[in-house]
Amino acid sequence: MRETIDRASRNGVGASGLKVSFEFFPPKTEAMEETLWSSIERLAPLSPSFVSVTYGAGGSTRERTHATVSRILKETALKPAAHLTCVGASKAEIDAVVDGYAETGVRHIVALRGDPVAGIGTVYQPHPEGYAQASDLVTAIRRRHPEIEISVSAYAERHPESRDWQTELDNLKRKVDAGATRAITQFFFDNDLYAAFLDRAAAAGITIPIVPGIVPVINFTQTAKFAEKAGASIPSWFAARFEGLEDDASTRQLVAAAVCAEQVFDLVDRGVNEFHFYTMNRADLVYAICHLLGMRPVTADRVKALEALSPRERVG
């Protein structure tokens, strides 16, 4: 791993070679809001391509999502991407949300079908007057606001409801044909599965960037439960890294940073240069991993120093 870190530093990875984005969820309480904004302030100097704010099941966080996105626009220089789902709302209601984001200045939406109202694992039922699938939502956003960038979801191990790979790829292709410009994957821990998915997507004629979703494991037990529901496998070697650390938070955090950095460096070695981090509203692990990648806070002095270098010097 040290050899990979040294190679990344020599090649200027982070200074000009990598793009990162961060995902947050809207806070429920004042304490959670304080944690969120502390994390945003910690990560903002790394100059992410964008930061996304999630949207609760059935639109349950609609107001809080909008408030968080609006505050990011007003108080930071970050580019927010607002999540939006089809669940629990009519077309008119969703269109109004999209229009509201556009009026606020949001120029990026993460368009999702959303989980069933009753939770993951139950049968999905579209709203009788709503958009049935993410591709329908993408079409509507693109028609109403062609200036808005649209990201969509992708699944390196197939969506739990996809009966086969053809179903999975057909669904992603519909979203691309409707106007999506980027796909972000559900988190995964086996990079070979992601590489195989990229090959399948390319063979299906899908050419938009498919950005790997990366989750640092803050709590292995909780992550494992969510992974099971989301259809993300956990390799035995990965689980073994966290054995015996249930009551050792400090060591668990060190291991989590090392494991996540190892995964990201392997992806860099495979040619990946863009990452989407699921932060869980916590900055420390994500910041540490970005630091290992060679990324540094973008200060005025650093910008001047980089501008003084030739393109070859920045990456050579």
Question: What is d(CA 274, CA 294) in angstroms, rounded to the nearest whole number?
Answer: 14
Contact 81, 75 (CB under 8 A): no
Name beta bridge partners: 154.
185
Contact 156, 215 (CB under 8 A): no
Q: What are 143's two structure tokens?
A: 């028609």
Which of 23, 149, 157, 168 is catalytic? The answer is 23
Query: Integer distance in angstroms from the first to the last C-alpha of the chain?
Result: 20
Question: What is d(CA 124, CA 113) in angstroms, rounded to the nearest whole number?
Answer: 10
Q: HSE, CB side, 13 Å, CA atoms: give it for residue 35.
A: 15
Q: What are 147's two structure tokens?
A: 């200036």
Question: What is d(CA 5, CA 252) in angstroms, rounded to the nearest whole number?
Answer: 21
- Provide the 3-class DSSP secondary structure of residue 106: coil
Name beta bridge partners: 178.
none
Q: What are 25's two structure tokens?
A: 């969820």
Amino acid making up residue 121? G
Is 23 an annotated catalytic residue? yes
Angle between helices 284-292 and 30-43 (to 10 degrees): 10
Exposed, middle or buried: residue 35 (CB in 10 Å: 0-12, 13-18, 19+)?
middle
Task: Please give the full DSSP string across 50-92, using - where no structure is assigned.
Answer: -EEE---GGGTTHHHHHHHHHHHHHH-S--EEEEEESTT--HH
Which of the residues are catalytic? Answer: 23
